[in-house]
């Protein structure tokens, strides 16, 4: 099976994407897949490489692009001044953040006619914009944080807020540009920090509860939930992928999977994650992040439609704890893409 793996990208999560691709490489069945490693540099250049190793950008890669022409259904690779077509059976996007999980790449893949793993255009775009995700989830009866949107070129009135609040880019990955604001004197700086990643800024009221997550795999009717995980903080707030050495752990957080919560709470978190997944139109795979309050309610935090697949990422750890190693996860999401059950 000719499997195209797209990784890298121009977003702030470029390095995380490369690490995810390396972990995928370790878990691909060579008897089942013929991988085509399609790396996108930070400058947006597309290259067909032998592997996603550390020096992939400087090795003997060839310029290559996904063709939007359904007559090609694959790659156009530049060799000796001419483009050669290479057909692909399916594409596994391993791009995180902007232009990776916001519907942009998914649109190109829809034009190309190549089956691909993961959410389609509407679900990807909806989950990427946290404010829109809250509106849709809230209309379905799912609890969300109190929030307000700050459009570009507007500044919120600090006296209108109840602190603490979280200020974040509305459409960005991980915790880049996110600030916890304890008082009104820090609000403007937090908004400016968020605008480095998105012109649309979100201000959320703090939710009193424990941070939990749940990995989901499958289509609308048949969903598999991974084990629930729990994030414990020593100080500050959870800042995924911004540690100096994330493979060695975080300086202020510990992630426990399975989460040390009651069976009833575990079931509630998993069922709520499935409801959020369906409501927001997710397909293939996603990680649903939530808060579990002392009152026993579950509040949506955010949904990652192309979650990290690194050695330390939450999604593969939750699935492994449920008895699904990454190699099997890859097989299942590729199978869903090929059979059209996640479309």
237-264: per-residue pLDDT in tens? 555 544 556 665 555 679 999 999 999 9
Q: Which of 338, 340, 339 is nearest to 33 (CA)?
A: 338
Query: How many domains, in total, are found in the chain?
Result: 3
Q: Among 283, 287, 314, 332, which one carries the catalytic annotation?
A: 287
Per-chain mean pLDDT for the chain:
92
Q: What average pLDDT does range 29-34 have in this prediction?
A: 97
My answer on whether 243 and 333 are in the same domain is: yes
The CATH number of the domain holding residue 222 is 3.30.470.20
The CATH number of the domain holding residue 183 is 3.30.1490.20
The CATH number of the domain holding residue 21 is 3.40.50.20
**Active-site residue, 312 included:** yes
**Active-site residue, 16 included:** yes
My answer on whether 216 and 315 are in the same domain is: yes
Provide the whole-model pTM: 0.92
Q: Among 168, 200, 241, 274, which one carries the catalytic annotation?
A: 241
Residue 330: pLDDT over 90: yes
Q: Among 77, 218, 308, 329, which one carries the catalytic annotation?
A: 308
Q: Among 96, 168, 283, 314, which one carries the catalytic annotation?
A: 96
86-90, 232-236, 302-306: least confidently modelled range: 232-236
My answer on whether 183 and 196 are in the same domain is: yes
Task: Read off the pLDDT band of 191 (50, 70, 90).
Answer: very high
Q: Among 14, 19, 47, 274, which one carries the catalytic annotation?
A: 19
My answer on whether 128 and 240 are in the same domain is: yes
**Active-site residue, 205 included:** no
**Domain range enclosing 237:** 124-144+208-339
Strands (E), the chain: 2-8, 34-40, 46-49, 62-66, 74-79, 82-87, 90-93, 147-150, 165-169, 179-181, 201-205, 210-218, 223-225, 229-233, 253-256, 284-292, 298-304
Predicted pLDDT of residue 342: 45
Q: What average pLDDT does range 212-240 have in this prediction?
A: 85
88-137: per-residue pLDDT in tens? 999 999 999 899 999 999 999 999 999 999 999 999 999 999 999 999 99
Q: Which of 161, 268, 258, 197 is nearest to 10 (CA)?
A: 197
Final residue before a domain boundary, out of 205, 223, 255: 205
My answer on whether 154 and 139 are in the same domain is: no
**Active-site residue, 247 included:** yes
My answer on whether 132 and 250 are in the same domain is: yes
Predicted pLDDT of residue 248: 55
């Amino acid at each position: 099976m000719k499997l195209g793996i797209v990784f890298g990208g121009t977003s702030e999560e470029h390095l995380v994407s490369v690490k995810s691709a390396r972990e995928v490489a370790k878990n691909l069945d060579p008897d089942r897949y013929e991988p085509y490693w399609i790396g996108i540099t930070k400058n947006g250049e597309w290259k067909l490489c032998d592997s996603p190793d550390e020096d992939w950008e400087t090795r003997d890669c060839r310029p290559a692009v996904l063709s939007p022409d359904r007559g090609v259904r694959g790659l156009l690779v530049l060799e000796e001044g001419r483009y050669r077509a290479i057909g692909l059976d399916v594409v596994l996007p391993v791009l995180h953040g902007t232009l990776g999980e916001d519907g942009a790449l998914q649109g190109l893949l829809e034009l190309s006619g190549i089956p691909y793993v993961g959410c389609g255009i509407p679900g990807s775009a909806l989950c990427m914009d946290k404010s829109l995700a809250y509106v849709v989830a809230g209309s379905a009866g799912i609890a969300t944080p109190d929030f307000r949107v700050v459009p570009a070129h507007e500044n919120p009135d600090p006296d209108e807020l109840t602190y603490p609040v979280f200020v974040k880019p509305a459409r960005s990955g991980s915790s880049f540009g996110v600030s916890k604001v304890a008082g009104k004197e820090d609000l403007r700086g937090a908004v400016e920090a968020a605008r480095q990643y998105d012109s649309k800024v979100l201000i959320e009221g703090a939710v009193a509860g424990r941070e939990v997550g749940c990995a989901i795999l499958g289509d609308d009717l048949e969903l598999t939930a991974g084990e629930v995980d729990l994030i414990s903080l020593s100080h500050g707030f959870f800042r995924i992928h911004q540690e100096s050495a994330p493979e060695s752990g975080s300086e202020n957080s510990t992630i426990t999977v399975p989460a040390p919560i009651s069976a009833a709470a575990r079931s509630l978190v998993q069922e709520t994650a499935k409801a959020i997944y369906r409501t927001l139109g997710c397909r293939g795979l996603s990680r649903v992040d939530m808060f579990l309050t002392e009152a026993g309610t579950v509040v949506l935090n955010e949904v990652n439609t192309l979650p990290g697949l690194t050695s330390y990422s939450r999604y593969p750890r939750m699935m492994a704890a449920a008895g699904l190693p990454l190699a099997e996860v890859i097989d299942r999401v590729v199978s869903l893409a090929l059979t059209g059950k996640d479309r």
